[in-house]
Amino acid sequence: MTINLLLLGRGSDPASERGVDCPGELPPAADPDLAARAAAAKAALGDRVFVLGHHYQRDEVIAFADVTGDSFKLAQQAAARPQAEAIVFCGVHFMAESADILTGPHQRVVLPDLAAGCSMADMATAEQVEQAFDDLLDAGAAAGTVPVSYMNSSAAIKAFTGRHDGTICTSSNAKRALDWAFGERGGERVLFLPDQHLGRNTAIGELGMTEDDCVVYDPRRPGGGLAPRQLREAKMILWRGHCSVHGRFTRASVDEVRARVPGVTVLVHPECQREVVLGADLVGSTEYIISVVDAAPPGSAFAIGTELNLVRRLATRHPDKTIVFLDRTVCFCSTMNRIDMPHLVWALESLARGEIVNQITVDPDVATYARKALDQMLALP
């Protein structure tokens, strides 16, 4: 997978989930007053604006967030602020879509840079997923298949999931989602979108399945690269998608850090490859990683396999603990990093002038079914 790097705030990537240009006269990045301008615009807006900051955002942007969290927590927080006319989402496109779906019609969701997409979400388009469903129909495997889609997917994929009576999941509740799909929902197999690693780690690591229970559907190959019999016999049909940040960690990086940092606890996100999870001591969502580090006694040592902005922030917050990045290679999420101070200042100052820029809106029909899948997640036992 290649990530097309666009100049910040310029150009478009029609192959991606966002596929839109990002207009606007941005202040220069070298402007020494950016922080003061953002503060002034935010103060002028008062309760009319609510700024959400994902854990993977830059420090200087996080400083202006009213609340920080993972994608699901932030969407919930947006929904809990009906008095805010504008939600400025410092995160990526699929998160802003979820916020638009969950907030009221009087609220506007703004993504400061429309080029802030997610390479994982881009790996499953609506057309590809409809084709996969046709392949399941042809194989006689559609009736028993329940779609379970990770929060990190476009609104169109969430709507597909809702139309087929499936559920959304997060990295915190993926096991509960699969238990529901195979239990109460009565599924024979799950089509897990779009992160193969979260699906595999949950199915094998938490539900006790084997590699033989899982097949990988490759949307770039006819029939997903699978025979009809493989589709019928699989319990987990994993979409061939991954996070371009977490997917970079390797088992070698786990072995290297154990040799480099004696007594280290290796703590990774379930978007990592299976071999990395098997080599780690602990695995869990972003919120879990933060809670483990926060609760550890002074002197603890952690090697963390998740996005670098968060790892650095944890290291700064806990000077009494040794906190290192799992891999020596710098590994920011390039699309998360597109939200920078010039874009934030531009979005806030525009709002303060009464001008809504970079609004994210989801088509009402798509939103209806996406909401159904999101509500199913909220109703998980």
Annotated binding-site ranges for [4Fe-4S] cluster: 118, 243, 333
CB closer to ligand SF4 out of 62 and 84: 62
CB closer to ligand SF4 out of 327 and 349: 327
* Binding site listing for iminosuccinate: 54, 71, 150-152, 171, 269-271, 286
Query: CB of 297: closest distance to ligand SF4 in angstroms?
Result: 29
Site string for ligand SF4, 66-95 (x = CB under 6 A): --------------------------x---
Cα-Cα-Cα-Cα torsion 240, 242, 244, 250, nearest 10 degrees, comes to -100
Cα–Cα distance between 93 and 155 in angstroms, integer?
Answer: 10
Stretch that binds ligand SF4, among 112-120, 250-258, 309-317, 373-381 (CB under 6 A): 112-120
Query: CB of 120: closest distance to ligand SF4 in angstroms?
Result: 4
- Extract the tokens encoding 186: 């009565």
Query: CB of 56: closest distance to ligand SF4 in angstroms?
Result: 6
In which residue are the tokens 């008095």 written? Answer: 83
DSSP 37: H
Contact flag: residue 333 with ligand SF4 (CB under 6 A): yes
CB closer to ligand SF4 out of 116 and 323: 116
Q: How many CB atoms lie within 10 A of CB 124?
A: 27
Contact flag: residue 245 with ligand SF4 (CB under 6 A): yes
Interface residue with ligand SF4 among 124, 190, 293, 336 (CB under 6 A) is 336
Interface residue with ligand SF4 among 70, 100, 113, 307 (CB under 6 A) is 307
List Cβ neighbours of 248 (8 Å cut-off, separation of 6 or more).
327, 329, 331
Judge whether 100 and 360 are in contact, CB under 8 Å.
yes
Size of the site for ligand SF4 (CB under 6 A): 13
Stretch that binds ligand SF4, among 62-70, 96-104, 251-259, 329-337 (CB under 6 A): 329-337
Cα–Cα distance between 155 and 18 in angstroms, integer?
Answer: 11
Query: CB of 92: closest distance to ligand SF4 in angstroms?
Result: 5
* 3-state SS class at 34: helix
- Extract the tokens encoding 114: 């429309």
H helices of 46-164, where?
Answer: 59-62, 71-79, 93-102, 119-122, 126-138, 155-163
Site string for ligand SF4, 45-64 (x = CB under 6 A): -----------x--------
* Binding site listing: 54, 71, 118, 150-152, 171, 243, 269-271, 286, 333
CB closer to ligand SF4 out of 135 and 307: 307
DSSP 313: H
Q: Which of residues 185-244 bind ligand SF4 (CB under 6 A)?
A: 243-244
CB closer to ligand SF4 out of 234 and 339: 339
Q: Name the maximum alpha-carbon separation found in the chain.
A: 62
Query: CB of 32: closest distance to ligand SF4 in angstroms?
Result: 30
Contact flag: residue 152 with ligand SF4 (CB under 6 A): yes
> Beta strands of the chain (E only): which ranges?
49-54, 67-69, 86-90, 108-110, 145-150, 167-169, 189-193, 214-217, 236-239, 265-268, 282-283, 301-305, 322-325
CB closer to ligand SF4 out of 62 and 336: 336
In which residue are the tokens 């990295």 written? Answer: 171
CB closer to ligand SF4 out of 118 and 347: 118
Cα–Cα distance between 167 and 66 in angstroms, integer?
Answer: 29
- Extract the tokens encoding 238: 């994993």
Interface residue with ligand SF4 among 335, 337, 350, 376 (CB under 6 A) is 335
Cα–Cα distance between 65 and 88 in angstroms, integer?
Answer: 9
* 3-state SS class at 359: strand
Query: Contact positions toward ligand SF4, by CB under 6 A?
Result: 56, 92, 118-120, 152, 243-245, 307, 333, 335-336
